[in-house]
Amino acid sequence: MTRDGDERGTEAEGPQLQIWDSDTRRHSLGHLVLGDEEWEVHLLSETVATDLARGRIAFQRGGKHLVTAPVIVEDTEAEVVRRAEAMPESMLRQFLVSVRD
């Protein structure tokens, strides 16, 4: 259950504890070409606690919006952003393929 009492998770997974700050920020990471598709790539960073931040990668193309689970966890949001900006294109491509399936 979240702080506001909402239960998360699928029936197969069961409820999952998800407590984090609702202050999510979007950082542009540029564009990614996969075949004949061009996707906008963003980092969604959020502060989880006073000493922990995490980031998810978001892909957008037209009206389609895909988001990974948290893939970066660091002590500060600045470190999350730095790691996302240094992420190789091949890794971003793998994330995109994994959320498309």
At residue 29, the 3 state secondary structure works out as strand
Mean pLDDT of 70-86: 95
- Identify the top-confidence range among 13-17, 20-24, 93-97: 93-97
Tally of CA atoms within 13 A in the half-sphere of 4 that contains its CB:
5
Mean pLDDT of the chain: 84
Residue range 67-95: mean pLDDT, rounded: 96
The beta-carbon contacts of 20-28 under 8 Å, at least 24 apart in sequence, are: 20/46, 20/47, 20/48, 20/49, 20/54, 21/46, 21/47, 21/48, 21/49, 22/46, 23/47, 25/77, 26/58, 27/81, 27/84
Does residue 84 surpass a pLDDT of 60?
yes
More confident residue, 13 or 4: 13
Q: Model pTM?
A: 0.75
